[in-house]
Amino acid sequence: MNSFSQPASWLHLDWVLVVVVAWLLVGVAGVAALRRFRFVAVVLFPVGALFSVVLMAVGIGAAFATPEVAVLPLGLPQLPFHLRLDSLSAFFLILIGGVSAGVSTFAAGYFRRGEGTPPGLICLEYHVFLASIAMLVMADDAYVFMVMWETMAFSSFFLVLANHRMPEIRQAAYLYVLVAHIGALGILLCFGVLQAGTGDYTFANMRAQQLSPFWGSAAFVLALFGFGAKAGVLPLHAWLPEAHPAAPSPFSALMSGVMLKIALYGILRVSFDLLQTRIWWWGVLLMAVGLASALFGVVFSTVQVEMKRLLAYSSIENIGLICTGFGLSLLFSAYGMQALSALALTAAMYHMIGHAFFKSLLFCSTGAVMHATGERSLGKLGGLMRTMPWVAWPTLVGVLACAGLPPFGGFVAEWLLLQSFLFTTGLPSPSLDMLLPVMAALVALIAALSAYTMVKYFGVVFLGQPREEKLKDAHDAGPWERGGMLWLVGGCVVLGLLPNQVIALISPVTQRLVQAGMSQNAAASGWLLVPVGVERASYAPVIFLLGVLVSMGLAFVMVRKLYHGRLRRVPPWDCGHPWQTARMQDTAEGFGQPIRQIFEPIFRMQRQLPTAFDERPTYAVTVEDPLWHWLYLPVARLVDKVSKLVGLLQQGRIAVYLMYSFATLIVLLLLVKR
């Protein structure tokens, strides 16, 4: 059905197209007002946020509707745009709209005059990026998918390059676009396998193909490589810790909160929708890649001393956990255990939307701190809760959600994932029955290290005493920035307190992809979250929150009533020192030192030691990614050598080129048969 065939009855797909066109018009208006900073900031970005809310509302409505399709008269001759809005697309539209509404509102107060790219051009790139990802999740053929994929890649490239005057930012942007295009080659090859030689690249044709195990496995591995490069899974992660710190904070929030999820959308679409077969080792491979990425990311995040790099490595960890849930769901589905497959997939998708909100919130709060202090190094911050309370309290919510603590969405997702691992005893393979508990233990270790990292992040930045004198003059976030962060805080709270309602949005997706869902349990359990049966496990977030609040209230009342007037305030014990300064409190390096020592074989460390006895003692440790030196630099050197060899062919002399032509002609005459 063409969505334009019924103009009197607007469908959800029509409204999505309206939002896409509106975003593009907002971007064009930004170009028209290229350097009118005030107009772009307080008019165009809020208007874009308003349309993001509309997109989220449309996605919620489409989640429970029947799939809608449309063929747009765009593109090339005989290659129109095929679009499809189903439950999976609707879920990602909710994610895109919900997160971008908060980030766009924050961006309205974030930008400053004279920072890199003109504000109107930033507005265009920003809204083209949003429009492309909204169209991408509705793509129903390989052509429109790749057009929108490349549009997303190039628009995000220019967003990373916003402060292009700095050489390290240009280097990070070029690394990002290089890895993105290497991944795009894998995606193109994957679609080539999925169409099975029919020449029809629509997704409907790909769903109709019954590929052999060999070609199905080839398509799965190519999809994992292509989309994994964009998602930042090991060992294709190198661009992520470079690009996120280079981009302005609102774009870092969108890249981590939204763009990485679009890559995961590609893995979901290919593995669970376009491929009609499931093989058990696909799930094991995806779990192995996910757990390796998660452990690598969380260990490296614990030792970072720069805020945005810490959050970037934390994103690698969270993407790894989501891929682990996907792999477990694939494994269950391959053995026909559809209910458990739906549970694992629900956990992964819950973590996906939870990470989108809390990581976007943390990147936004980091941007506010950087603007207020001019610092991004953890070693130069501290005590900001006193001067920046409007940034500190939303950051605390994001930190608790990222650490996986109740009553926020991060806990619900990780708890559901662990429950999925605990119900694996019925697998027909004894070796897998032995392996999966080890993986569950790794998930628990990763969750604990993530909480450790978040304690370090919040404690070093906001607690204690200021490490620099200028921090006492740090200004709090403005109204637009506060509004954007509070919107994202609301998302974290809703995901934590209303898990059954969120699962009701996810269930149509799992019903479509694995033919099972958790909506029936969610509807029957009221305020309890019940993965399989109430006798096995349950969680009541609202009751938990009420219990915490009541306990805190009782403790306050008892202290006031029973001990009022019998307390005296004295300085804390300070190890015999007569005063305390900022130099006496724990540092980011000190916080990460135990992890650095335990996992020392993972790191590549450069130590700076005093070279002479009488000089000022200095000691510094730089932690580097070993894969950069073991994999990326050797490949770069090999490419450089091959390029120099090929460059020898280009001499710049016409006589040499004529000799090449003559030699080629002679060879062809000798080899070609008459």
Q: What is the pLDDT of residues 155-213, one digit of tens each?
A: 988 888 887 778 888 888 888 888 888 899 999 999 999 988 888 888 989 998 888 89
- Per mean pLDDT, which range of 31-40, 250-259, 340-349 is the poorest? 31-40
Binned at pLDDT 50, 70 and 90, residue 286 comes out as very high
- The residue count of the chain comes to 674
Give mean pLDDT, residues 379-392: 86
What pLDDT score does 93 carry?
95
Structural domain boundaries, residue 665: 632-671
From the number of C-beta atoms within 10 Å of its C-beta (0-12, 13-18, 19+), residue 401 rates as buried
Cβ contact 80:143 at 8 Å: no
Query: For residue 623, which amino acid is it?
Result: V
Range in 383-387, 479-483, 651-655 with the lowest mean pLDDT: 651-655
Beta bridge partner(s), residue 607:
621
The residues pairing with 79 across neighbouring beta strands, listed in sequence order, are 76
592: pLDDT strictly greater than 80: no
pLDDT score of 34 more than 60: yes
- Report yes or no: 26 and 123 within 8 Å, Cβ to Cβ: yes
**Does residue 663 lie in a domain region?**
yes
Residue 235 lies in a domain: no
Q: How many CA atoms lie within 13 A of 18 on its CB side?
A: 14
As for how many domains the chain has, the answer is 1
CA distance 473 to 388: 10
| 193 occurs within a structural domain | no
The H-or-E segment that residue 69 falls in is strand 68-76
Q: Is the pLDDT of residue 547 over 50?
A: yes
Give the pTM.
0.89
Confidence band for 277, pLDDT divided at 50, 70 and 90: confident
Give the model's pLDDT for residue 586: 73
Instruction: Count Cβ atoms within 10 A of the Cβ of residue 535 and give its class: 0-12 exposed, 13-18 middle, 19 or more buried.
Output: exposed
Please write the tens of the pLDDT for every residue from 448-481.
999 999 988 998 888 877 777 777 778 888 899 9
Choose the most confident range, by mean pLDDT, from 35-39, 506-510, 594-598: 506-510
Mean pLDDT across the stretch 21-27?
93
Cα distances (angstroms) measured from residue 375 to each of 255, 273, 358, 367, 379? 22, 46, 22, 10, 9
Question: Residue 79 domain-assigned?
Answer: no
Residue 650 lies in a domain: yes
pLDDT for residue 218: 92
Q: Is the model's pLDDT at 136 over the cut of 90?
A: yes
CB 555: neighbour CB atoms within 10 A? 10
Mean pLDDT for the stretch of residues 106-124: 79
How does pLDDT run across 601-618, given as a tens digit for each residue? 777 767 666 665 555 666
**Does 636 score more than 90 pLDDT?**
no
Q: Confirm if 211 and 219 have CB atoms less than 8 A apart.
A: yes
Mean pLDDT of 534-546: 76
Q: Is residue 645 part of a domain?
A: yes
Cis previous bond, 407, omega within 30: yes
pLDDT in the model for residue 8:
39
Of 549, 582, 379, the closest CA to residue 461 belongs to: 379
Task: State the pLDDT at residue 657.
Answer: 79
- pLDDT for 362 equals 93
Question: By mean pLDDT, which of 211-220, 262-271, 394-403, 631-640 is the weakest?
Answer: 631-640
Largest CA distance in the chain: 110
Q: For 257-279, what is the mean pLDDT?
A: 91
Closest residue by Cα to residue 506 from 361, 401, 351, 400: 351
Q: Do the domain assignments include residue 178?
A: no
* DSSP classification of residue 71: E
pLDDT grade, residue 6 (50/70/90)? very low
Residue 639 in any domain: the answer is yes
As a whole number, the mean pLDDT across the chain is: 84
Closest CA to 313 of 324, 325, 301, 322: 301
Give pLDDT, residue 5. Answer: 41
**Average pLDDT of 67-79?**
81
Helix (H), strand (E), coil (C) string for 359-418: HHHHHHHHHHHHHHHCCCEHHHCCCHHHHCHHHHHHHHHHHHHHCCCCCCHHHHHHHHHH
Neighbours of 278 (CB within 10 A): 21
